[in-house]
Chains A and B, each alone.
Chain A
Amino acid sequence: EAQLVESGGGLVQPGGSLRLSCTTSGFTLSSFWVSWVRQAPGKGLEWVANVKQDGSEKFYVDSVRGRFTISRDNAKNSVYLQMNSLKTEDTAVYYCAGSGGWLLDSWGQGTLVTVSS
C-alpha cells in the first residue's frame, strides 16, 4: 500500500494564502492521479481537486475554483495545492489521496489548515 505524506498546513488569516504539499516515499507519485480531499472539524468528507499523472488535466469543486490551484512536479515526486483568498469555511484537515485512476485508494494522514483572525 502506497503511503502519502502531506505538509504545509497551519494557521492563516482570512484572505491569506497557503501551499500544501503531498509527497511519498518508496514509490513514484507520477503514476497516480492525485486528489485533495478535506474534512472540516466534526464534518464529512469533501473532495477538492485532482490532477492527472502528467498534469494535463485538473478538476475542482465549485467552492474552490478560481481560488485554489492543484499542480505537480513529478521530478520532485510531489503534488501541491496552492490556496489563495482563504475563507474561514476552508478550515479543515486536508488529505491527499490517489491511485492509477480516480479511485481514492491510498491516503495520507492529513494536514490541518485553520483560517482564523
Chain B
Amino acid sequence: DIVMTQSPDSLAVSLGERATINCKSSQGVLYTANNRNQISWFQQKPGQPPKLLISLASTRRSGVPDRFSGSGSGTDFALTISGLQAEDAAVYYCQQYKEAPLTFGGGTKVEIK
C-alpha cells in the first residue's frame, strides 16, 4: 500500500499570510498513461464532506480560488494557500489515486492565528 504522510499535523497562520502543507508518498504516484501524478487535495470543514480542491497534483478544480495551489513531483507534494482567508480554516488532506487501496494523509488542521 502507498502510505501518505502529511506534515505538519496543524498550523496557525495569520490572515493574509501563506500556509504550506506537505505530503510525502511512500512510493511514486505517476500514472504512466497520462504522465501525471495522481495526487488530490481536499478541504474539509466541520460537519461537511470533503471538498476536492486539486487533482493531478497541481490542477485546481473549477471554482476553487487561485490562492490554492498544488505542487510537487516524485514522492513530495505540497498544498499552498497564499493570502489565507478566514474561510480557509479547515482540515486538509492529500490522497493518492494511482492504485488501490486509495490512501489519504492523516490531515492537517489549519487555524487562523
A interface residue numbers (CB < 8 A to B)? 35, 37, 44-47, 50, 59-62, 95, 97, 101-105, 107-110
Contact = CB atoms under 8 A, between A and B. Distances in A.
Question: What size tier do the contact residues of chain B reach?
Answer: 20 to 34
B55 interface: yes
A103 B55 contact: yes
A48 to B, nearest CB: 9
Given A44-B93, A45-B93, A103 B103 contact: no
B5 interface: no
A47 B104 contact: yes
Contact of A104 (B48, B95, B100): B95
Contacts of A46: 104
A108 B97 contact: no
Contact of A102 (B50, B52, B102, B107): B102
Contacts, number: 59
A90 B61 CA distance: 31
Contacts of B102: 35, 47, 50, 102, 104
A60 B49 contact: no
9 contacts: A44-B105, A44-B107, A45-B93, A45-B107, A95-B50, A104-B97, A105-B55, A108-B49, A109-B49
A46 B103 CA distance: 7
Contacts of B71: none
Contacts of B50: 37, 45, 95, 97, 104, 107
Contact of A103 (B1, B52, B100, B107): B52
B40 A103 contact: yes
Interface string B26-61: 000000000000101010100011111001000001
Contacts of B51: 107
B40 A45 contact: no
